[in-house]
């Protein structure tokens, strides 16, 4: 009887020891598996190659780098207008002279020189006023050029003035001491800016109802002929 109890006690003790050993083994294996399953954390690369492409850079003249400017979205300021776009010639950007000529008879030549820094356009024909006259001479239609004369700085344009009829058929003749030259704008008979007051000969100039002018020309011979 005692031998049987002793055998049962040994069997129970062995089973308990086996259970403890198995539990210890399972606990160690689980820790190792859990550790192997989790990858070791790594710090991101300092070069930024793993966080997406680097922004483009431009090198400044002093050797430093600046981020490239973003592409234009179309909402920026528009470029300024070109500084070479012609303005209208008038008394503020030109010098005007009036010279009587021997041929053709009873003619005067107006010369307009661009004294500004930009090209200027001579629109249509000059509007003349001698002394306090209340009418304006008309332009000869056959003298109209194919294109508006545009003067570069320093260049000149011309208009011929028929002062009086050579055969004496004109009416209301008188001698003028003062001349005002007015300029037209971009539409006929519109004001083009400041007028000019060219000097006349000391004896004045004689004109009558035949007074006419030519359109502005780029050649003095075209203006007189």
Given a cut of 90, is residue 139 above it in pLDDT?
yes
The pTM of the whole model exceeds 0.85:
no
Does residue 10 sit within a domain? no
pLDDT at site 50 = 44
Give the total number of structural domains in the chain: 1
- The share of the chain scoring above pLDDT 90, in percent, equals 60
Does residue 96 sit within a domain? yes
pLDDT digits (tens, 9 = 90+) for 168-217: 889 999 999 999 999 999 999 999 999 999 999 999 999 999 999 999 99
Does residue 124 sit within a domain? yes
Instruction: For residues 86-101, give the mean pLDDT.
Output: 97
Does residue 122 sit within a domain? yes
Measure Cα distances from 40 to 35, 36, 48, 51, 149 in Å.
Answer: 9, 9, 20, 19, 84
Q: What's the rounded Cα separation, in Å, for the pair 119 and 85?
A: 7
Does residue 191 sit within a domain? yes
Instruction: For residues 111-129, give the mean pLDDT.
Output: 98
Given a cut of 70, is residue 42 above it in pLDDT?
no
- Range of 176's domain? 87-224
Given a cut of 70, is residue 25 above it in pLDDT?
no
């Amino acid at each position: 009887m005692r031998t049987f109890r002793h055998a049962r006690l040994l069997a129970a003790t062995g089973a308990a020891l086996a259970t403890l050993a198995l539990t210890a083994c399972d606990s160690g294996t689980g820790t190792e598996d859990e550790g192997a399953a989790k990858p070791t954390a790594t710090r991101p690369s300092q070069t930024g190659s793993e966080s997406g492409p680097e922004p483009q850079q431009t090198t400044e003249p002093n050797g430093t780098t600046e981020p490239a400017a973003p592409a234009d979205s179309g909402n920026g300021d528009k470029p300024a207008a070109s500084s070479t776009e012609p303005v209208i010639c008038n008394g503020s950007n030109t010098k005007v002279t009036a010279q009587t000529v021997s041929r053709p008879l009873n003619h005067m030549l107006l010369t307009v020189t661009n004294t500004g820094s930009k090209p200027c356009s001579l629109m249509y024909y000059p509007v003349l006023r001698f002394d306090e006259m209340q009418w304006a001479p008309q332009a000869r239609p056959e003298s109209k050029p194919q294109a508006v004369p545009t003067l570069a700085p320093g260049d000149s344009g011309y208009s011929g003035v028929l002062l009086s009829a050579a055969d004496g058929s004109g009416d209301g003749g008188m001698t003028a001491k003062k001349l005002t030259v007015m300029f037209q704008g971009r539409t006929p008979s519109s004001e083009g800016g400041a007028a000019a007051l060219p000097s006349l000969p000391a004896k004045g100039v004689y004109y009558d109802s035949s007074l006419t002018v030519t359109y502005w020309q780029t050649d003095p011979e075209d203006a007189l002929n």
